[in-house]
Structure 1
Amino acid sequence: MQFLADSHGCAGWSGEMAGRIRAFDWSLTELGPLDTWSKSLSSAVQLMLASPLPMVMLWGQSGYMIYNDAYSKFAGGRHPYLLGSAVELGWPEVAEFNRNVVDTCLAGGTLSYRNKVLVLLRDGVPEDVWLDLYYSPVADDDGRPAGVMAMVVETTERVISERRRQAAEDAYRADNERVRLALNAGALLGSFVWDIKTNVLSGDERFVRTFSYPPGQDLQNLSQEIAESRIHPDDRGWVQERVAMSVETGEPYNVEYRVRRPDGSYLWVLASGCCEFDEQGEAFRFPGVLIDIHERKTAEESLLKFTRNLEQRVADEVEARLAAEEQLRQSQKLEAIGGLTGGVAHDFNNLLQVIAGNLHLLARHEPDNANVQRRVSASIAAVERGAKLSSQLLAFARRQPLSPAVFTLRQIFDGLAELLLRALGETLQVHMTAPEDSWSVFVDRNQLENAILNLAINARDALQGEGRIDLCAENIVLDRRFCAGKGIAAGDYVRVSVADTGIGMPPQVLAQAFEPFFTTKADGQGTGLGLSMVFGFVKQSGGHIEIASDVGQGTRVQLYFPRTLRAAPSETPAPDVSQRGGHERILVVEDNEAVRVSVVELLREEGYQILTATNGDVAMQMLLEGLAVDLIFTDVVMPGLIKSSDLAAWAKVQEPPVAVLFTSGHTRDIISRNHQLSPDTHLLSKPYNPEALRKMVRTVLND
């Protein structure tokens, strides 16, 4: 079969996309494995790959996409994910248009569009895109249409440039029309006659006023020196040359030049005339008129300036577009890494919970065994380090559950001042500024404080113990141009800056700063998750983060959070949860047996009555059969039809309502929106210790 594919031309394919097509698992699509492709399909792919124009083939009724290198550039951030996907899934915003294309060409028809405008998502924003599109059917080995060959050439820049040029030309023609109408209405600046035989110049009063002759000047004998002195020095030679040519050849005299006004400014005029000759063919008289063309010349200069700047503006727009696309690609790369790291968090935290629960139980059962207590303490410390690592991974992956609240950055800075002093040491200067009228934000305060502290510690390490760290909060308005490609909308923001004057970072290090596990510190001095955690938290909070650094000049990290107009809640005293244990009945819903066993033992030691269920389906059946409980303590992510959110919804409508406490190492947005918990949702994150379990259970039961 490999010989068959080679004979169809597969071996002759070249280019980046040829490699991607060979590596793709086509058995998951209707096309089947590559070595079973028909000769017509392989030949069409070879033809497409050899084309320098953007081309894409839509194969089968679903329109599975195969494209060349040029089309991959047009696809932007969607490449390489478009390869092998159905066209309606790859371009969902124009699904109906593409469905008509596939149906028409598979029926044997062809389609073509010139400067077709489509609304495509670019950088997450709908944008008008103009395209030249050509569609034709591709036959299978039996001669029946089996696919569509599409040629896609983007003409957006050309269309926009042409529209701007047309608008400028329209404005120019309008100005010319206004000049013509002005002339018809009598926009003359005067008339003159030059008697060549006697070398005498005469004119009317308007001519005299235009050239600023002295008052009382004889209109029949005007000084030619005065007239010449009023002409702009750069135009004087040109005027004299045109007059001499008209006298010598008899050609009509039409020349544009500038005349100085009394205030020193210049007026554009058109001098129009014709030399008259006597019967002997000698020039004897030169009459003419002056016409005001100042508005037209001003319009022409504006058009010339516009034309000269147009290319630069187009270049600037292209550069901005490329920068936005690069930011999008970087964001997509970090998003892919985040999805991978977040996916393992749930199982990892369950393992940590099993270890932590059994260690705490062992410590309780052997209170007098010093060796056991010492080894348990060391093991619990390791579990806590693992939990911190998992929390940082979830922060980078934007999967950590957040509890946002309304506050100002001035409040944050006031609360952090003493902590920063202890964490950074007295040898560093820490300068903190925030406006008195600082706008409010709606984010998780603990996570924001951790992010600022993390950045400040990075700055301390970069300063190597000496120097200054600046923490600044500002109210700022971001425009659309700044926000392009950053995943945020224009509007009001609060910017938090952490800057140092330390060693800085070279470009190659700066490019990887947000990637997880990347660090320039020595082994044991950093995990490489600090900036990754800050990046994930800011993005999950609907904000944006930027970092700038120069070797030897220092580093500045800027966090942007959208302004909120929500009212800040009134402060209420924290509930007293000092009471230990209780007699209430608790239903523990946990699919992991090891976790379930340890938590049941911990709760029973507190005096609670414990019932268990292995998943949501079993728990709901027990509750519907009349089981009365005071609290449902349930894992968030479990197998089965009934989710933990369904149990909570059932508990909420009971009379009286049944308290619910969730626990998880990764909520996957089952009980949250964008991993942000509502105020009435209680979550105990894994892994937890007995004290945290006791306090949270008591808090929820006391509500």
Structure 2
Amino acid sequence: MTSNTADPRQLDSWIGESARAIRDFDWSTTPLGPIDTWPQVLRSAVQIMLRNALPMAVLWGEEGTLLYNDAYAQFSGGRHPEILGMPIERAWPEAAAFNRNVVESGLRGETLSYLDIDFVLPRAGREAHVWLDLHYSPIASDEGMPLGVLAVVVETTVRVTLERTRAEAEAAFRAADERLQLALNSGAVLGTFVWEIQHNRVKGDERFARTFLFSLEQVTAGLPIERAFDIIHPDDYERITSLIARTVRENTSYRAEYRIRTAESGWTWIMASGRCEYDESGRPMRFPGVIIDIHDRKVAEEKLRELTHDLEDKIAEAVAARTAVEAQLRQSLKMEALGAMTGGVAHDFNNTLQAISGNLQLLQYLPPTDKRVPERLQAAMDAVQRGAKLASQLLSFARRQPQSPVVINPRRLFDELRELLQHAVGASVTIGTMIVEEPWNFCVDRNQLENALLNLAINARDAMRGDGKFLLASSNEVLDAAACEGKELRPGEYVRLSASDTGTGMPPEVLERAFEPFFTTKPEGHGTGLGLSMVFGFVKQSGGHIAVSSTVDVGTTVDIFFPRSHDDETATPRADALMTQTGGATVLVVDDDASVLSSTVAILEAMRYTVLRAANGDAAMSVLESGVHVDLILTDVVMPGKVSCADLAEWAFSQTRPVPVIYASGYTRDMISRDSVLRPNVTLLNKPYRAETLAREIAAALNG
């Protein structure tokens, strides 16, 4: 049984200033009540919140009672710790309407996200604008009822500020470019020049003289071009001289941006453009050009590059931090789900054990002749079967159930199952079938498939409240890449089995959790919540895909896809009666569990078999090698020692007259199967088993 009261050791694991504040707070004055009466779902949510680095808060109940972690306390500024335990609307009165909507939406099971919301908060002793991403998710009870809201706060002030600064820089760049265009259009240039190539003389106007730090007389008379190169920035010199040489050599247009020294010994950006002119014989003669000031534009471009680089770094850091927090949150939620599953398994198995224990204890007080003895024995056996079914469902969900696949034809399957399904759903439910004219075969474990379809039929019966129509359909499907997307299937040929009902259907929030283990909408005691989980595990283990669609008040359809098999249908064994007579043979029983070994030996001796016993594989091999005659080996799968069950089977099959072997196990863990498919030479008896089942398997093995 699980407890709804707080575990002190769990509370002690809450670390941090906010955790201590929560433990020390007098919650009896709030709607939450004393902390040791909090429900498990609230304690789990608080534990997840306290372990996260992002600012997180829990808004609990209709009042939105506020609990938060250390990061949220720092984010809230001077309001901490007074706002702890307050209704959220009182804690943040300036956003009362906003937070009221958050609480009401969360209690309706809705999620909310707000990006880059502008708030004014106290920072460094003064009010400051901050920008936040706010994410709100409902916190639901085990029954799916929303009880509170989990709030995650991600501050985006740095990114928003950088984006705004970048926008301002881009605007400045555009303005500088516009000024450049105006300068060009209006003739506001830094000068014009002509390079007379044959005489290597550069001449220019007054503006050119000022730009290149010459006198007007010098540029009027002309200067060698090397004198103009003297003020080019060293980092740009080689590039510019090479570009001028190529322009002269190849008759291409000249356009270059570079830095030159100013009169104040600084550097300024210019753009030079021009073109070489040639004489009739093709010799270069003149190189006229113009100099334009582009300094403001280049400065703006550099600033924009720096801001872009900083923004990319900040965004990468923010994304990495958020990814790490999300991974931590997913791990926390995974562990919470595992805890819920463990609790569900413990609850159901404890109920089963109690039923067995109660009936066995009652038998201690009843004389053997009491008419209630058979009834109590049957009740204990029924409880054992319920426990075995629960274990089988868990193995199917975990995809650990050993399989014996056979090739199945849908038409024969439906014909043979119809009567069984009709008994399961009742006479008031109409069962229909729809099959293509030439259905394809597929290969799966027949028993597990029948159990899966039986589960779907029972779910449909409950959804229709025992009155409606249940339809089984089969079709041949060729799926391309687009159809396989999101289905974990490869393109190819598939057999689709569909089970549809005319029941109440499922709303989206229930449909989303349909395959979740231990999730059920049935009343307490009317279902474990493992039915669809078992079907899901079996289908995935068989290499298939399962999907559910449902509409409230219309019905539900479950589609299962299995790969097509081109092999012939597996022949159904003849219904010859197995020899069930007992006795007359020697059986070696091997099991490391003393109580299981003792009870099995007693059952076989009661069936008049000669029984040898061994507590492990090593002892069993000693018995076999002693020369004693053995007709059959019944062995557990997982045992201590050097000799395994596979070693015993190897000895048995190597004899001149092979000795049949039966494995008995509750969980094989791939000891006797590859890819969860049983080996051909293995007979498996699943624990727990009934005496008559044991007798039938031994008789079949001895007569095989």
TM-score normalised by the chain length of structure 1: 0.49
Higher RCO structure (Cα 8 Å, ≥6 apart): 1
TM-score normalised by the chain length of structure 2: 0.49
